[in-house]
């Protein structure tokens, strides 16, 4: 057996602990598996003790952007190694991560902010881990969509999370129209540069529904602006793109008395006396809650019959 050189030293074991509220806390060992850990969406104080314990005890933390996650770990003096895992390297890295999990490691998955798997690629790793018989545990915590919903002062008993709308206008309007009849509050993420255009399309397809724009949630300049979709569209068209991450919250369709065919035609004809076919259809759809495309098709026929 070779004699160890005098100047050779062993690497000391990593400290599996964290600091919070002036105390240093040792994290107990984790059972093997994948841990889905929600992290703050802005204010770094919005993290649970369970999340800190898990991040400190894990063998590695899988992060969407290691530079972003490093700020959180430094705040709580956590030394767990970070591994980059994002949409651009997921296909290449995922098999290696699954192999580590199969060997009995405990890995924590985080996103840049909020709850992982919501609009990020983590769901494929979770799905393949489950398929391989690996335990997957979710640690609940902050979510921008839910924070916006609860601050919007709109109905919360039923909601539908859409994520990001298509960036191009035609596809965006088509998708909004497909969502128009859902009897629930709608939640969207949107980029600041596209906010005014998205709101204009939402107003055109959904009419004057009540809505809210929540941005920079939990941060210093947090803001929730409320109004109808046309009002909000006009505001952001005038002031330009806001700063920060944005959630759009749109109230559900308003219940309206059901119209028979004759009554619907009467409303369309009345609107056609002052508006173009397109605008008349949008106005009647907003008034009745009927799908815009259905009203538009009927308006086209009525307009043709009047010529």
The pLDDT assigned to 2 comes to 47
45 and 135 together in one domain? yes
Q: How many domains in the chain? A: 3
6 lies in some domain: no
The pLDDT assigned to 9 comes to 47
125 and 227 together in one domain? no
Domain that holds residue 201: 148-250
- Residue matched to tokens 């580590």: 100
In CATH, what number is assigned to the domain containing residue 94?
A: 3.40.1010.10
136 and 154 together in one domain? no
221 lies in some domain: yes
Find the range with the poorest average confidence among 35-39, 42-46, 303-307.
Answer: 303-307
Domain boundary among 116, 142, 168: 142
Domain boundary among 109, 127, 142: 142
Entry pTM? 0.80
121 and 37 together in one domain? yes
The pLDDT assigned to 76 comes to 97
Please report, rounded to a whole number, the percentage of residues in the chain having pLDDT higher than 70: 94
117 lies in some domain: yes
97 and 49 together in one domain? yes
H or E element at residue 280:
helix 277-288
Angle between helices 277-288 and 292-306 (to 10 degrees): 130
Give the separation between CA 301 and CA 296, rounded to whole angstroms.
9
Q: Is the pLDDT of residue 282 over 90?
A: no
2 lies in some domain: no
Mean pLDDT of the chain: 91
Tell me the average pLDDT across 268-282.
85
170: left (phi over 0), alpha (psi -120 to 50) or beta: alpha
Q: Express each pLDDT in 205-231 by its tens digit.
A: 898 899 999 999 999 999 999 999 999
Q: Which of 170, 171, 156, 143 is nearest to 245 (CA)?
A: 143
61 and 152 together in one domain? no
24 and 125 together in one domain? yes
Query: 3-state class of 131 per DSSP?
Result: helix
Query: 3-state class of 29 per DSSP?
Result: coil
Q: Express each pLDDT in 234-256 by its tens digit.
A: 999 999 999 999 999 999 987 65
67 lies in some domain: yes
37 and 132 together in one domain? yes
The pLDDT assigned to 4 comes to 46
Greatest CA separation for the chain: 102
Q: Which residue has the higher pLDDT, 216 or 258?
A: 216
Q: Express each pLDDT in 153-183 by its tens digit.
A: 999 999 999 999 999 999 999 999 899 989 9
The pLDDT assigned to 12 comes to 62
129 and 162 together in one domain? no
291 lies in some domain: yes
Is 27 within 8 Å of 17 (Cβ atoms)?
Answer: yes
12 lies in some domain: no
24 and 133 together in one domain? yes
The pLDDT assigned to 262 comes to 83
Backbone angles phi, psi at 7, to 5 degrees: -90, 5
Residue 298: CA count within 13 A, CB half-sphere: 21
Give the confidence band of 307 by pLDDT, cuts at 50, 70, 90: low
The pLDDT assigned to 111 comes to 93
Please report, rounded to a whole number, the percentage of residues in the chain having pLDDT higher than 90: 72
Domain boundary among 114, 142, 170: 142
Query: 3-state class of 5 per DSSP?
Result: coil
The pLDDT assigned to 277 comes to 87
In CATH, what number is assigned to the domain containing residue 224?
A: 3.30.950.10
9 lies in some domain: no
Q: Express each pLDDT in 111-124 by its tens digit.
A: 999 999 887 778 99
The pLDDT assigned to 3 comes to 46
Give the confidence band of 295 by pLDDT, cuts at 50, 70, 90: confident
21 and 138 together in one domain? yes
222 and 125 together in one domain? no
Is 285 within 8 Å of 291 (Cβ atoms)?
Answer: yes
Two tokens at 103? Answer: 């060997």
The pLDDT assigned to 255 comes to 65
Distances in Å between the Cα of 256 and the Cα atoms of 231, 265, 284, 286 are 22, 16, 11, 10
């Amino acid at each position: 057996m070779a004699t160890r050189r005098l100047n050779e030293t062993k690497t000391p074991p990593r400290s599996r602990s964290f600091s919070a509220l002036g105390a240093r806390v040792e994290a107990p060992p984790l059972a093997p598996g994948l841990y889905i850990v929600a992290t703050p969406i802005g204010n770094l104080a919005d993290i649970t003790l369970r999340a800190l314990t898990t991040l400190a005890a894990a063998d590695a933390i899988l992060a969407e952007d290691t530079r972003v996650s490093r700020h959180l770990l430094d705040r709580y003096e956590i030394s767990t190694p970070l591994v980059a895992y994002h949409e651009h390297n997921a296909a290449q890295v995922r098999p290696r991560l699954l192999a580590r999990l199969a060997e009995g490691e405990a890995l924590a998955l985080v996103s840049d902010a909020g709850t992982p798997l919501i609009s990020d690629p983590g769901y494929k790793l979770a799905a393949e881990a489950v398929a391989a018989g690996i335990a997957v545990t979710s640690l609940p915590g902050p979510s921008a969509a839910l924070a916006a919903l609860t601050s919007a002062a709109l109905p919360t008993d039923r909601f539908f999370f859409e994520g990001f709308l298509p960036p191009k206008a035609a596809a965006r309007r088509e998708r909004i129209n497909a969502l128009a009849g859902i009897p629930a509050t709608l939640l969207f993420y949107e980029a600041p540069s596209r906010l005014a255009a998205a709101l204009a399309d939402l107003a055109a397809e959904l009419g004057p529904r009540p809505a809210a724009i929540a941005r920079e949630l939990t941060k210093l300049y947090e803001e929730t602006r409320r109004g109808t979709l046309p009002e909000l569209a006009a505001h952001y068209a005038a002031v330009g793109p806001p700063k920060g991450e944005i959630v759009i919250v749109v109230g559900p369709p308003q219940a309206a008395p059901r119209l028979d065919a004759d009554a619907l035609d009467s409303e369309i004809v009345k609107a056609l006396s002052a508006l173009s076919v397109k605008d008349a259809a949008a106005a009647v759809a907003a008034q009745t809650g009927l799908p815009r495309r259905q009203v538009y098709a009927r308006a086209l026929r009525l307009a043709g019959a009047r010529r």
